[in-house]
Chains A and B, each alone.
Chain A
Amino acid sequence: AQSVTQLDSHVSVSEGTPVLLRCNYSSSYSPSLFWYVQHPNKGLQLLLKYTSAATLVKGINGFEAEFKKSETSFHLTKPSAHMSDAAEYFCVVSDPANTGKLIFGQGTTLQVKP
């Protein structure tokens, strides 16, 4: 069965410093992986997706993620945090059957301090 584990429930950084949100996946197939962001009282927004092309994936708002098969990881990074990045982030794996169904991790709350 597909699953993802987000290793930190809460991450706090200062504005202008790097962001690292960690995610490990479990999959018996070559997975499709995503990161979604959820701001308070807003819908989930797709940040980026990996679908077996380039292992380094660039997303919106300066975020990137690197797929590492040997480590079964898909960590999300950003070189410099902005106050507006404060939100809940979800690492997501898709169902291998052609349903488009997504399986979400527990989420990581990113706090950005001025």
Chain B
Amino acid sequence: DTGVSQDPRHKITKRGQNVTFRCDPISEHNRLYWYRQTLGQGPEFLTYFQNEAQLEKSRLLSDRFSAERPKGSFSTLEIQRTEQGDSAMYLCASSLAGNNSPLHFGNGTRLTVT
């Protein structure tokens, strides 16, 4: 079981720069989720895909954020013109379709915007 992998583990960037994160889900999982977690808080939902279709986006996902899953396998999350408030842990999870299928989380990408 290779699990959900995320790359990079850590990213430090200067305000105004663009960053891109990658998530590789468990291979047979058709759903993929992005969450954001700030210090001392629980993860907050950002968006999710079923196969290659992006089915829901949170209001937290401003126009500077874009996520893709072009072939229904790996996904990327891009943040343009980063701001200090974007500093957080970005978590990816995957699951099979079905409301009670458990989500399997990756170890996350920690973003620090200076």
Contact = CB atoms under 8 A, between A and B. Distances in A.
B55 A99 contact: yes
Contact of A32 (B44, B93, B100): B100
Given A100-B33, A101-B45, A106-B42, A43 B99 contact: no
Most buried by B among A36, A42, A96, A102: A102
A33 B43 CA distance: 15
Contact of A101 (B41, B48, B91, B107): B48
Given A44-B43, A51-B100, A106-B42, A100 B106 contact: no
Given A94-B99, A100-B98, A101-B56, A43 B106 contact: yes
A81 B19 CA distance: 41
Contacts of A51: 100
Interface residues of B, number: 28
Given A98-B99, A99-B48, A43 B4 contact: yes
Contacts of A100: 31, 33, 48, 95, 97-99, 101, 103
Contacts of A94: 99-100
Specify the main secondary structure of chain B where it touches its partner.
Answer: loop
Contacts of A34: 102
Interface in B76-114: 91, 93, 95, 97-108
A113 to B, nearest CB: 21
Interface string B18-55: 00000000000001010000001111110010000001
Given A32-B100, A42-B107, A100-B99, 16 more contacts: A34-B102, A43-B91, A44-B43, A51-B100, A98-B97, A99-B48, A100-B33, A100-B48, A100-B97, A101-B33, A102-B33, A102-B43, A102-B45, A103-B45, A104-B42, A106-B41
20 contacts: A32-B99, A34-B102, A36-B105, A41-B107, A43-B91, A46-B103, A49-B102, A94-B100, A95-B99, A99-B48, A99-B99, A100-B48, A100-B97, A100-B99, A100-B103, A101-B48, A102-B45, A102-B103, A104-B42, A104-B44
Interface of B: 3-4, 31, 33, 40-45, 48, 55-56, 91, 93, 95, 97-108
